[in-house]
């Protein structure tokens, strides 16, 4: 079954990706999306597994870095996460414990054993305007055929849910619905803007959730090492050779396209007044039945 599709935005720029059940997925998913999701459904999960789950550009690597420091007891960069989406199951099965895995899938697409309460999940969401800006910049820097369109063309794709991993709104509603209906105690729900506002409190909360006990000085050290200013400066200094090769393969400018500004409100430097008004109308209509509010600056 061929899942490859090409979609063109209003400027004629092409999004080359995979489409399954109406949703777009990254082209680097091995084989067909359907088969990968079926393999993940039956994946063997360990009690000490940790999963970082988010829509793209919502703080995946940030939370991964924090969780990795807390899991290892070392306040140093430990490389890029292994993604459930992009790796063969055999590779994931052979990783040493404790495994720290990431994904842009929704909670209902995680392995069945996770949904039954095994392992721990850090589920993070972020305001959609900053996500859009970060997502577009990330995509245009990638050394991949997925999408090289303009900001205007991207924003239309994004607003229509035609970008990789579908609509931000659908991902948020999955986050909200899981929080409201899932009865397990193996998920910690995080909001990007809350972490920016009080990182130490959230680092402390993540440590407690992972059942990792550290003194205040170590938690403060992790917090200091996890600020965007520090990460941008130190990640490239501490990065492993294998990750360096990976970055050179994935990025057009040979630089890490993961950590950028990490600011709340950077969208104001990119959205025009007209674009903001249009997106606000979409946001207000989509979010009219939710009690969750986001900080946009």
CB contact at 8 A, 98 and 48: yes
DSSP class of 267: G
Please classify residue 132 by burial: count the beta carbons closer than 10 Å to its beta carbon, then call 0-12 exposed, 13-18 middle and 19+ buried: buried
Active-site residue identified among 61, 82, 104, 248: 104
DSSP class of 226: T
Measured in Å, how far apart are the chain's first and last C-alpha atoms?
A: 45
CB contact at 8 A, 210 and 100: no
Tokens 């109308």 found at: 281
Task: Give the separation between CA 150 and CA 219, rounded to whole angstroms.
Answer: 41
Element containing residue 15 per DSSP (H, E): strand 14-20
| SS3 (DSSP) at 6 | strand
Nearest to 38 by CA among 55, 15, 21: 21
Quick check: is 104 catalytic? Answer: yes
Q: Which residues of 87-98 are buried (b: 16+ CB within 10 A; e: fewer)?
A: bebeebeeeeeb
| SS3 (DSSP) at 56 | coil
Tokens 């409100």 found at: 265
Task: Give the separation between CA 206 and CA 283, rounded to whole angstroms.
Answer: 30
The residues near 220 (Cβ < 8 Å, ≥ 6 apart) are: 200
In a 13 Å sphere around the CA of 277, the CA atoms on its Cβ side amount to 3
Positions annotated as catalytic residues are 104
């Amino acid at each position: 079954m061929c899942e490859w599709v090409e979609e063109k935005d209003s400027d004629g720029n092409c999004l080359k990706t995979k489409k399954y059940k109406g949703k777009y997925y990254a082209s680097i998913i091995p084989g067909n999306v359907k088969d990968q999701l079926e393999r993940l459904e039956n994946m063997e999960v360990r009690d000490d597994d940790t999963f970082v789950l988010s829509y793209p550009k919502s703080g995946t690597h940030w939370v991964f870095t924090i969780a990795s420091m807390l899991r290892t007891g070392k306040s140093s960069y430990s490389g890029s996460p292994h993604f459930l989406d992009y790796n063969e199951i055999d590779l994931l099965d052979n990783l040493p414990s404790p495994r720290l895995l990431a994904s842009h899938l929704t909670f209902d697409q995680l392995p069945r054993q996770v949904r039954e309460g095994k392992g721990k999940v850090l589920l993070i969401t972020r305001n959609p305007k900053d996500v859009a800006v970060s997502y577009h910049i990330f995509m245009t820097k990638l050394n991949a055929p997925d999408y090289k369109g303009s900001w205007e063309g991207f924003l239309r794709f994004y607003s229509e849910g035609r970008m990789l991993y579908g609509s931000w709104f659908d991902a948020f509603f999955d986050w909200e619905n899981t929080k409201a209906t899932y009865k397990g105690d193996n998920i910690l729900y995080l909001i990007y803007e809350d972490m920016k506002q009080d990182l130490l409190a959230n680092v402390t909360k993540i440590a407690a959730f992972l059942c990792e006990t550290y003194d205040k000085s170590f938690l403060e050290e992790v917090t200091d090492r996890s600020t965007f200013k520090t990460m941008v400066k130190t990640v490239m200094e501490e990065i492993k050779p294998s990750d360096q090769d990976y970055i050179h393969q994935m990025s057009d400018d040979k630089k890490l396209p993961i950590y950028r500004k990490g600011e709340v409100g950077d969208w104001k430097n990119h959205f025009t007044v007209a674009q903001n008004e249009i997106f606000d109308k979409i946001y207000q209509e989509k979010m009219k039945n939710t009690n969750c509010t986001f900080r946009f600056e």
